[in-house]
Structure 1
Amino acid sequence: MTYVQSPSLPIGLALLEEQLARDLEYLELPGKPWVPERSSGGQPVRDVVVIGAGMCGLAATAKLVLTGITNIVAYDAAPAGLEGPWETFARMQTLRSPKTLHGPALGLPQLTFRAWFTAQWGTKAWDALDKIPKGQWMDYLVWYRRVLNLPIVNGVRMTAIKRSGDLIQIDIEGAETGPVLTRRLVLATGRSGLGGFAVPDFLQGIDRTYWAHSADEIDFDALRGKRVAVIGAGASSMDNAATALEAGAKSVDLLIRRKQMPRINKMTGIGSQGVVHGMHQVPDGWKWKFVDYTSATQTPPPRSSTLRVSRHANARFLLDCGIRAVRQDSDGLLIETTQGPLRYDFLVAATGFLNDFNGRPEFSAIAPFIRTWADGRYTPDMGPQRPSMADAPDLGPSFEFRERVAGTCPMLANIYCFNDAAMLTHGKVSGDIPAVSAGADRLVRGIAASLFAEDVETHFANLVAFDTPELMGDEWVDATPLLRKENA
């Protein structure tokens, strides 16, 4: 008698990992290493260094390894298990994305979150799951890294980028120190992209004991019994407001400049493989139009996140409440708004991130030379010039930076912007879950092609030098002498 396991029963991670290993074997993955080794001055040279081991960094590193580009390393400043936002400044309870999205799985079914989840808890639990808890998503990414045995070093921060002949030198500190030479550099630096926090002018000069950015490490327990204000109506605004309320804040006000809350998630409505693969191919005017429209209409916070705030009686949504000025005094913060003066003990600025990389010391050697959309790609007929868009880097077809003035910083062609700042040029394929696999594929195809072209003489020499015969010479008899004799 043959027994068939019920699909509702978990198979266990060990069996899933066996299935994944078999799939990789069938697909001949990882590909055999093919990039010639290099050294410079006796120092080994990496083929690629990836900065960041969050979701995008993992996807990029995994795709490089699977493509046979194996002399690589990814560095992340965070301890293992704390890469990316999921266990730090992401304060939502669940992901916004549908649970069915394959995320960084790179087209491998056994590498999806769904496979990982059902292997442990079964299909009944999967069917009952609504949204993915953010902590569980981090657990999945930790497994993803382990099962693919990705070359990642934690506790390492990049402090500088320099040119070293035709190579890139990065300086690092932490668990590893000193200069590292590499042929290609991928900046998988997440939401902060290249510029860090966006801080409104009215907070300049205000003591940091009175306010924090939503991506800061915030001691919410210290807000117990405090009057708290949160700027904005986006997802991070709701998540931070809810966290403060749940920590026992006396009151939390959401200061919302708009007269109405955004209610429709426009990009979700048109999500498709056409958008994923077509957005970076359309004319620049259309790219600008899509991003400008979604910026103007704004993305609403998730319904669950909003209800998480509004269920508290001591929470207020203050619409049409723009901020004119902020002052600090002995009683905390006095905020002048379009609805009048308001008093708070602490403020959270959920004001997003910048594309202006001029303020980041680690990018100081390349920032002045990076071409942005304001450097000619944007034209007034596209629509209003939003600074957040105009400052976006004007990237090449594989996420590579481009020079503002040709010839001034050639190494930019070998540095790749695989983070949120690439959205205007490439669409949402390097920051969010839905299309990160497509983004990683686009990135690595470009890196692989450029490395091959750079080493083309070596590859041709290897072609000429290859001398392993398939035929040994004893498989046939040359009948030409007999034919000649017969014809004589």
Structure 2
Amino acid sequence: MIDPAEARAEGLKALEAQLARDFLNLELPAKPWVPLRSVDGQMVRDVVVIGAGMCGLAVLAKLKLSGITNVVAYDAAAKGEEGPWITFARMQTLRSPKTLAGPSLGLAQLTFGAWFTAQLGDAAWDALDKIPKAQWMEYLIWYRHVLALPVVNDTRMVGIREEGDHIAIDLEGAENGRVLTRHLVLATGRSGLGGFSVPPFLSEIDRRLWAHSADVIDFHALKGKRVAVIGAGASAMDNAATALEAGAGQVDLLIRRTEMPRINKMTGISSFGVVHGMQHLPDAWKWRFVDYTLSSQIPPPRSSTLRVSRHPNARFLLGCSINGVRVNGEALELNTSLGSMNYDYVIAATGFTNNFAGRPEFETIAPHIRTWADGRHTSEMGQARPGLSDAPDLGPDFEFREKEPGACPMLRHIHCFNDAAMLTHGKVSGDIPAVSAGADRLVRGIAASLFAADVETHYANLRAYDTPELLGDEWVDSSPLIRKEAAL
């Protein structure tokens, strides 16, 4: 009888061998071509990536395949815990279809589907509905391993500053000190450049009584408790379901809207055109697309909603706006449009913000970053919307732009490859469907910048290249004979 673990290992070994053959046929990775730099004996990285979740890994992989090899990514999480998948993502499965190519960069053997079927076979693939989130994390760990991507874990960036022609990054953790780089990529996920979006009525409340949906939460401590979850999105459902499954006595979803959103608008129009065309649209059209999508809201997945509603002690309270909160002993009293309600714990599933001014690691660059509110949004686009107006106004290579030209030159070499780039570039730097296209766009821009910066070196290399194609013994010069005959 074949041991299942051995069969899976053999299948994965065969997949990796095929991937190696594909690389050979495609001449990948490209040979390194960027001249090395150093300052006072310290190596200068070509690119540093902050974040080694899915987006950070896709960027690292594309850089390596493009021959830009003096690169590294830093992630504050422990190895195997990067991104949200096994931390604050509390859904049971991914929401995306299993067939999406994800970070495969156009290489079939790098897809989740190839990885899955190599180990479990076609029948298991046909039976699979959505991808379990822990299995997606396993795939990303394999992706990092099979491509030998350079990631340093347990290391946090705590500061950025300009140092000559380079960017200096201060690090704390497993690696401490200063690193110099020519380009910096912020692949910082959903939190982008800011952090949690917290309703004002919770900002002064003791944190032992509430949490944001992306916080570390001890759900077992909620057993028998009254819990309120603010919001109606996917994270609201996932957190409510997790609380219910942990034994919460009652869980209420407090939903400001009078009707649940039902249609995921952007999913319905996903296409090659949307992925590659959105960045080239006039600003008014970009705003129109994103503003309408946010206004319509993205509904939670059906499976996530049913995961909540199957519990008799769950309530969906629609048209329930919150006017204020006060501490009432060891509980919170919420003044809502449906009356006064008391809870032992509140979870705010209220998303994230682009307000990067509150992040100490960005304090040197935040005042200089141009946003859409700094002239790109006009009255013709309609009312300014928080989350859009404060989005960074990025260049074609995801690079930041300065509010005042010349005030912070290093911004042109700092790239925003996270959720905050959506308004300028479309959804290519945060979600699974188009991350390969986003990584390709970013790396093409970085490659062009690196080549232009070193153009004199590349030209000198051209002049110095002296490997002969012809050795001189491949022909006989007949012209002397022709001249002699012509002279007769």
Q: Does TM, scored on the shorter chain, surpass 0.5?
A: yes
More deviation, 420-429/327-336 = 327-336
Distance, in Å, in 2 between the alignment partners of 1:479 and 1:364 is 74
Deviation at 1:384, TM superposition (A): 1.7
Name the SS for the 1:394 alignment partner: coil
After superposition, residues 98-177 of structure 1 pair within 5 angstroms as 98-177=97-176
Report the aligned-residue RMSD. 1.1
Name the SS for the 1:387 alignment partner: coil
Distance, in Å, in 2 between the alignment partners of 1:188 and 1:331 is 39
* Aligned length in residues: 481
More deviation, 472-481/58-67 = 472-481
Distance, in Å, in 2 between the alignment partners of 1:287 and 1:17 is 41
Distance, in Å, in 1 between the alignment partners of 2:61 and 2:291 is 33
Letter in 2 for 1:17: E
Distance, in Å, in 2 between the alignment partners of 1:113 and 1:367 is 37
State the match for 2:252 in structure 1. 253
State the match for 1:397 in structure 2. 396
Letter in 1 for 2:145: R
Distance, in Å, in 2 between the alignment partners of 1:205 and 1:331 is 15
Letter in 2 for 1:407: G
Distance, in Å, in 1 between the alignment partners of 2:454 and 2:28 is 23
Deviations 1:142-164 (A, max 9, x none): 00000000011111100000000
State the match for 1:271 in structure 2. 270
Deviations 1:279-335 (A, max 9, x none): 111111000000000110000000000000000000000000001001112141000
Distance, in Å, in 1 between the alignment partners of 2:383 and 2:92 is 36
Deviation at 1:484, TM superposition (A): 2.1
Q: Does 1:229 align with 2:221?
A: no
Deviation at 1:84, TM superposition (A): 0.1
After superposition, residues 346-425 of structure 1 pair within 5 angstroms as 346-425=345-424
Name the SS for the 1:424 alignment partner: helix
State the match for 1:476 in structure 2. 475
Letter in 1 for 2:169: I
Work out whether residues 224 and 247 of structure 1, in 8 Å CA contact, stay in contact via their aligned partners in 2.
yes
Letter in 2 for 1:431: G
Letter in 2 for 1:152: V
State the match for 1:238 in structure 2. 237
Name the SS for the 1:388 alignment partner: coil
Work out whether residues 10 and 123 of structure 1, in 8 Å CA contact, stay in contact via their aligned partners in 2.
no
Name the SS for the 1:185 alignment partner: strand
State the match for 1:203 in structure 2. 202
Distance, in Å, in 1 between the alignment partners of 2:447 and 2:431 is 23
- The runs of 5 or more residues in structure 2 that have no matched partner are 1-6
Letter in 1 for 2:77: A
Work out whether residues 10 and 121 of structure 1, in 8 Å CA contact, stay in contact via their aligned partners in 2.
no
State the match for 1:191 in structure 2. 190
State the match for 2:434 in structure 1. 435
Distance, in Å, in 2 between the alignment partners of 1:198 and 1:9 is 43
Deviation at 1:479, TM superposition (A): 2.1
Deviation at 1:230, TM superposition (A): 0.3
Deviations 1:58-93 (A, max 9, x none): 000000000000000001010011000001000000
After superposition, residues 313-328 of structure 1 pair within 5 angstroms as 313-328=312-327
Deviations 1:162-187 (A, max 9, x none): 00001000000111110000000000
Q: Does 1:302 align with 2:297?
A: no
Letter in 2 for 1:435: A
Among all aligned residue pairs of Structure 1 and Structure 2, give the percentage whose two residues are the same amino acid: 74
Deviation at 1:368, TM superposition (A): 0.3
Deviation at 1:121, TM superposition (A): 0.5
Letter in 1 for 2:339: G
- The runs of 5 or more residues in structure 1 that have no matched partner are 1-7
Deviation at 1:10, TM superposition (A): 9.9
Distance, in Å, in 2 between the alignment partners of 1:296 and 1:351 is 15
Deviation at 1:462, TM superposition (A): 0.2
Deviation at 1:338, TM superposition (A): 0.7
Q: Does 1:344 align with 2:343?
A: yes
Distance, in Å, in 2 between the alignment partners of 1:127 and 1:11 is 21
Distance, in Å, in 2 between the alignment partners of 1:56 and 1:273 is 19
State the match for 1:55 in structure 2. 54
Distance, in Å, in 1 between the alignment partners of 2:461 and 2:281 is 40
Deviation at 1:42, TM superposition (A): 1.3
State the match for 1:5 in structure 2. none
Work out whether residues 186 and 418 of structure 1, in 8 Å CA contact, stay in contact via their aligned partners in 2.
yes
Name the SS for the 2:139 alignment partner: helix
Distance, in Å, in 2 between the alignment partners of 1:331 and 1:425 is 45
State the match for 1:80 in structure 2. 79
Work out whether residues 276 and 435 of structure 1, in 8 Å CA contact, stay in contact via their aligned partners in 2.
yes
Deviation at 1:482, TM superposition (A): 2.0
Distance, in Å, in 2 between the alignment partners of 1:459 and 1:43 is 22
Letter in 2 for 1:379: T
Name the SS for the 2:484 alignment partner: helix
Deviation at 1:9, TM superposition (A): 10
Q: Does 1:38 align with 2:37?
A: yes
State the match for 1:283 in structure 2. 282
Name the SS for the 2:208 alignment partner: coil
